[in-house]
């Protein structure tokens, strides 16, 4: 039984107040990170040999001297949060020194393979943040439009079609995530690609994943299926074939299909429809047919608070676009409904997993 306010000690009440403030002020950390990214602070520290004083940082990023005290305050938020490192001054007349952490090294723009700057830029973009400011009225509204569309009048894909800059923001985000994740997939569970002779990357964009797979497994014929306007802008590649088409209508035959971060964009009914098309495209299990899915399985990753928080936060983010992250029982339901017989979850990608799905 939860004690009433009268029964709680003063310290309990004060701690409860701190907890509420901490939750309510969570957006400040996100905005501080966004500011640091847009000021290119990770690159400034990297370009200065990996460590820098506040005064040097202010000069490096072109701030007016009057902003130095404010820069120290925003960096205090980001060092207390562990996003940047801080080394205390050796004496009172010396300045502290800021450094990068494994986290902020992923935001250094020059680090092409592991650069997550573009996908963080999308997550922290005002178009993604602003719909949440009116989420309560969306819950009370009887219409079934997405939270994003209620705020902007267009869903995210319609907005991308109407705005080339926004379309590029989304494309860059997807490419950066793929570049980061594919090398890890090949290291941690590359066996999922063994024994197959052809693979289609469904909704694979400009072929980032397919190119990595084709390079690692030259014997696998790799193809990308995506919408005509996406394929039209795809770079030419001797090792990857591009095919225009709608995955909900037809998927060409292949030994295996690869779908990364696709199903979380869609509701269950659409996912079942897509899975049925996948099943039609692959041979039986005893002939090696399978679908390789890279997506989140809520509750299956490392059992740490930051992992669990990230999973449910990301699910709420996907709700903004009418997508969802699924627990294992939810995955199983759509798999079985689409006619598949079995699956295997490999929880080796942090908050995401590789799922091998068999007909």
Proportion of the chain in helix, strand, coil states, percent, rounded to 5: 50, 15, 35
198, burial (CB in 10 Å: exposed 0-12, middle 13-18, buried 19+): middle
Tell me 235's DSSP state: P
Angle at 293 between CA 266 and CA 241, to 5 degrees: 95
| Active-site choice (22, 136, 162, 264) | 264
d(CA 54, CA 96): 7
Nearest Cα residue to 295 out of 331, 270, 247: 331
Instruction: Answer for the pair 115, 172: CB distance below 8 angstroms, yes or no.
Output: no
Choose among 332, 358, 189: nearest CA to 278.
358
Separation between Cα atoms, residue 43 and residue 123, nearest integer Å = 20
Told to judge if 264 belongs to the known catalytic residues of this protein, a careful annotator would answer yes
**Cα 77 to Cα 80: distance, rounded to the nearest angstrom:** 5
List the 256-260 sheet strands across, edge first: 240-244, 221-226, 198-202, 256-260, 290-295, 352-358, 342-349
Could you give the residue numbers annotated as active site? Answer: 264
């Amino acid at each position: 039984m939860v004690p009433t306010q009268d029964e709680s000690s003063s310290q309990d009440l004060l701690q409860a107040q701190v907890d509420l403030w901490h939750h309510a002020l969570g957006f400040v950390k996100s905005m501080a990170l966004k500011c640091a990214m847009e000021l290119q602070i990770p690159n400034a520290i990297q370009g200065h040999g990996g460590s820098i004083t506040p005064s040097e940082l202010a000069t490096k990023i072109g701030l007016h001297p009057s902003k130095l005290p404010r820069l120290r305050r925003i960096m205090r938020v980001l060092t207390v949060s562990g996003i940047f490192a801080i080394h205390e001054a050796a004496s009172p007349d010396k300045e502290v020194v800021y450094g990068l952490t494994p986290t902020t090294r992923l935001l250094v723009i020059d680090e092409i393979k592991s650069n997550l700057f573009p996908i963080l830029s999308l997550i922290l973009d005002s178009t993604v943040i602003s719909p949440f400011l009116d989420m309560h009225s969306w819950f009370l509204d009887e219409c079934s439009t997405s939270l994003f569309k209620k705020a902007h009048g267009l869903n995210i894909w319609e907005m991308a079609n109407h705005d080339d800059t926004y379309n590029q923001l989304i494309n860059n985000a997807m490419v950066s995530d793929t570049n980061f994740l594919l090398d890890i997939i090949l290291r941690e569970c590359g066996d999922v690609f063994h024994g197959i002779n052809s693979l289609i990357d469904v909704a694979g964009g400009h072929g980032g994943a397919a190119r990595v797979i084709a390079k690692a497994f030259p014997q696998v014929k790799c193809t990308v299926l995506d919408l005509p306007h996406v394929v039209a802008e795809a770079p030419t590649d001797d090792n990857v074939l591009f095919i225009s088409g709608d995955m909900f209508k037809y998927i060409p035959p292949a030994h295996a299909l690869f779908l990364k971060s696709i199903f979380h964009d869609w509701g269950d009914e659409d996912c079942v429809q897509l899975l049925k098309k996948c099943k039609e495209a692959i041979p039986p299990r005893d002939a090696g047919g399978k679908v390789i899915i890279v997506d989140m399985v809520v509750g299956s990753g490392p059992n740490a608070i930051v992992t669990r928080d990230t999973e449910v936060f990301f699910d709420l983010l996907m709700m903004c676009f009418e997508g969802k992250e699924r627990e294992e029982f939810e995955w199983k339901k759509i798999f079985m409904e689409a006619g598949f017989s079995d699956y295997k979850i490999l929880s080796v990608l942090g908050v995401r997993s590789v799922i091998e799905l068999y007909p």
